[in-house]
Amino acid sequence: MINIALPKGRLGEKVYKMLASVGYGCDEYSEDSRKLVFKDSKGEVSYFWVKPADVSVYVELGAADIGVVGKDILNEYDPDVYELLDLGLGKCKMCVAAKDDWQDDMSVPLRVATKFTHTAEKYFAQKGREIETIKLNGSIELGPVLGISDVIVDIVETGSTLKENNLRVFECISEISARLIANKSAYKFRNAEIKKVVEKLSEVTKR
């Protein structure tokens, strides 16, 4: 049996439907169910829902053989896993955004508000720009609006939240989408099963 960690929410549901379409469906699954674990009747696959940011933890620690996680999480936490497939779902961008009229003052460290502190630190270190990181857990856009930061580093999907708060994208750090990841030990001992999932999903993503 192969254990799959899915991110709770819309992305996870889309991924489940994708897996079900290639033969990994479960009778126990229902969109309204609050069940966290469900298995198929043939005993081929077992799913469980976890917080999106935790999928890589479950996979790295071997509770799940494979899982689906956003590239933003992989970039931020750099888990020791294999990244086998880009599912092409949940596409967005990791961006540096600031107030429309913002201009970088190179004489002082740049104040960066973000949930993705490692991503921000890595990006600005590569550019040689000194920063002060302000870790926020939500409503990141408020940083520049209330003056606690100069810029933010955050995921941008449509840009409408930025626009409503008079912010705009200044730089794009990376493209984000959902990735299929695998535990390294599981990839050794359940190689054929994992490769079969990858192969079947690749056919769907190519369409």
In the complex, the residues that contact another protein under the rule CB under 8 A are 60-62, 80-86, 183-189, 191
Cβ closest to another protein, residue 10 vs residue 184? 184
Q: Beta strand 82-86 with 92-99: parallel, antiparallel or unpaired?
A: unpaired
Cβ closest to another protein, residue 98 vs residue 116? 116
**Contact in structure between 65 and 168 (CB atoms under 8 Å):** no
Closest approach of Cβ 190 to another protein, in Å? 9
The terminus-to-terminus CA distance of the chain in angstroms comes to 27
Of 180, 197, 199, 193, residue with least CA distance to 7: 180
Closest approach of Cβ 135 to another protein, in Å? 17
Tokens of 106: 């190179």
Closest approach of Cβ 201 to another protein, in Å? 12
Q: Beta strand 37-39 with 151-156: parallel, antiparallel or unpaired?
A: unpaired
Q: Beta strand 66-70 with 131-135: parallel, antiparallel or unpaired?
A: unpaired
Cβ closest to another protein, residue 29 vs residue 187? 187
Tokens of 117: 């502190």
Cβ closest to another protein, residue 29 vs residue 82? 82
